[in-house]
Amino acid sequence: MRMTTPSDERDDEPEHDFGERSHLNPDGTPRIVERHLVVPPELAGLRLDHFVKTQISRLSRTKIQTIIETQLARADGQRPKAATIVAAGEHYVIRREARPEPPCPRTFAVVHEDARVRVIDKPAGLPVHASAKFYFNTLSRVLGERYPDEPELQICHRLDRETSGVLVCARDRDAAAFVKQAIADKTRATKQYLAIVHGQPPWDAETALATPLALATTGKLAGVKVLAGAGGLPAETRVIVTRRAGDRALVRCTLVTGRQHQIRVHLAHAGFPIVGDKLYAHGDEAFMAYCDDGLTAELAELFVLSRHALHAWKITLPHPDGGMIAAEAALPADLAALLA
C-alpha cells in the first residue's frame, strides 16, 4: 500500500514561452502538420470527399475539394480523386504547412510526481488538445516536448483553455485507465475549484446549486452555450464563499457532477457570474462582439479580466498502486490581484 501526498516541490520554471515561433523549424521554414484518417468499416463505400466530411465536419465542400487536390494522399503516396470510393482500413494523410498560432504560455509547474502519476499546474491560455486554431501550442504537444522519453504519458481529464490549475497525467497506459475511471466515478475523486465572482453571494456555509443543465440547441449560440433550467441533465455544484473583497468574492466550488461549463453556468444562474466570463457574465451580445472583433478596449473594460477567473485548485483521487493523491495549485497572480 502506497500513500502519496501533495508535493511541496515545484519545478523551477523559466519565463513563459508564448510559442510565437512554434509553427516554424529552427531554420525558419514552416513545420508540416499531418492528420491521419483511417476508414472504418461502417464508412466503406463512401466517396472520398464525403468520407473526409465525416472526419472534419466544419469544412465546406469547396474546402474539402481543395484539400483533396493539394494536401491529401494515401499512406503509400498515391493521390486519389475526390470521387474515389474508399475501402475499410485505407489510410489517408493530410499534410499542410503549419500556420502561425495565437500566442499562449507553453510552460507549467509540476505539483505532484511519482513513478506512475504526474499532476501539473496548467497556466491559463494553454489549450489541452489541438483545435482549429491550435496545433503546436497545446499542452499535449508541450508535454511531449518536455518528456520525450515517456511515450505512454496521457492527460486524464480536461480543463478549458482559460481555466488554470491542477491537471492529472498518467505515465503508463494502465495508470491512465485507472485514473480516468476514478475521475469519471465522482464518488472516488473530488475536484475543487476557486472562482472569483461579481457580487457578494450569501454562501457563508456550503450551499448546493443543483439546477439542471442542457446545451443550447437553437439560436446563434446553439452548441456553444449551456442553459440552466428544467429539462436539462441533473447537475450539482457545492459552493462556499472563502473571501470577500469589495464587490467581488472568492468562491470554492466542489463538483458533485461534471457537466460542460457547470461551475460557470451555476454561478451565473445564481446571479454571481465569474469575473472575465465572456459567455455567461455579460449577455449574448457581448460574447458575439468578442467573437467578431476580439478583445477591444471597450470589451476589456467590461470583462475586467482577459480570461475567466476560474482555477482548478485541488484534486483528490486514488493512486493506481493504492493510497490517495491530494494535489493542489495555488491561486495564480492574475486572480489574486483581483482580490487585492
**Site of grid cell 494553454:** 126
Q: Which residues contact 310 (CB under 8 A, 6 or more apart)?
A: 160, 162, 163, 164, 193, 194, 195, 263, 264, 274, 277
| CA–CA distance, 228 with 269 (Å, rounded to integer) | 7
* Dihedral pair phi/psi, residue 165, rounded to 5°: 120, -165
Is 160 assigned a catalytic role?
yes
Bridge partners of residue 93, in order along the sequence: 36, 73
**Site of grid cell 502519476:** 117
3 state SS of 335: helix
The amino acid at 289: A
**Kind and range of the H or E element at 181?**
helix 173-184
The one catalytic residue among 11, 114, 160, 321: 160
The cell numbers describing 75, all together, are 499512406
176-215 burial, b at 16+ Cβ within 10 Å, e below that, comes to bebbbebbeeeeebebbbbbbbbeebebeeebebebebbb
Q: Is 74 exposed, middle or buried (0-12, 13-18, 19+ CB in 10 A)?
A: middle
Inter-residue contact 251 to 242 (CB < 8 Å): yes
DSSP structural state of residue 42: G
Q: What is the set of active-site residues?
A: 160
